Amino acid sequence: MRTILITGASGGLAQEMVKLLPNDQLILLGRNKEKLVQLYGNHPYAELIEIDITDDSALETLLADLHLRYDEIDVLVNNAGYGIFEEFDQISDQDIHQMFEVNTFALMNLSRRLAARMKESRKGHIINIVSMAGLIATGKSSLYSATKFAAIGFSNALRLELMPYGVYVTTVNPGPIRTRFFDQADPDGSYLKSVERFLLKPDAVAKKIVKIIGKNKRELNLPMLLNLAHKFYTLFPKLADKLAGETFNYK
């Protein structure tokens, strides 16, 4: 039986992943225990943990305890994250610090702590749920993109460091997914409306993620059209900026 730790476990994408993992030992982290119990109280092998993942000493204590009780944590899914789609001058200093704490620093801290153990046991898989916004920057996503570009940079280096030990690091970079993410990112619903036709279904994304658990996959970029857009963006950045700023300026 695999032991899989997932952060942001009460989120839309996490809920769909959990549905596809009925036979695994799950360690589900969230900010609200009641919510976790409501969602996963019936899962036969789920340990539900309320924690503030931005508190690194709380993470340290939790992981020390988990390592006493579980032989190994085989898979870490860093899923917690949120966005605010605003012009850069509408973003506060507090927004900047808080979003980096959740989207980037917590992901780095959990990765480094678990990777150290995985390295010792010469197996393991870290799956970082990042975003297409970490590969392609668009207007009104300066802060969100910065947190996600940083998470990808970290993951890419970590992958190289862990390669000799047989530990895998995968980044998952989806385009817009229909979850409650947009309640906060886009409260008036205008962005959501403009990308309606491209919206990914959370169950479909979850299925693709679950399929690559334990596989040495570098990145999972979804949907295919945005993966192509990412390749184009890398090859022709100036033209891509023009298109992103004009024709495809959905936010």
Q: Which C-beta is closer to ligand NAP: that of 123 or that of 251?
A: 251
CA angle, 74 then 217 then 26, to 5°: 25
| Piece of 59-67, 119-127, 153-161, 174-182 that binds ligand NAP (CB under 6 A) | 174-182
User: Residue 55 Cβ, how far from ligand NAP at the closest point, in Å?
Assistant: 10
181 is a contact residue toward ligand NAP (CB under 6 A)? yes
Q: Which C-beta is closer to ligand NAP: that of 54 or that of 121?
A: 54
CA distance 46 to 3: 10
| Piece of 3-11, 152-160, 232-240, 241-249 that binds ligand NAP (CB under 6 A) | 3-11
User: Residue 146 Cβ, how far from ligand NAP at the closest point, in Å?
Assistant: 13
CA distance 203 to 194: 21
Contacts of 9 (CB under 8 A, 6+ apart): 18, 28, 29, 30, 36, 39, 40, 48, 79
- In the Cβ-directed half-sphere of 164, how many Cα atoms lie within 13 Å? 1
Instruction: Match 């990914």 to its residue by tokens.
Output: 200
Q: Three-state DSSP class for 166?
A: coil
**Single residue of 82, 232, 248, 250 touching ligand NAP by CB under 6 A:** 82
User: Residue 164 Cβ, how far from ligand NAP at the closest point, in Å?
Assistant: 28
| Residue 168 falls in the annotated catalytic set | no
Q: Which C-beta is closer to ligand NAP: that of 13 or that of 118?
A: 13
179 is a contact residue toward ligand NAP (CB under 6 A)? yes
176 is a contact residue toward ligand NAP (CB under 6 A)? yes
Return the residues of window 209-248 that contact ligand NAP according to CB under 6 A: none
CA angle, 82 then 181 then 9, to 5°: 75
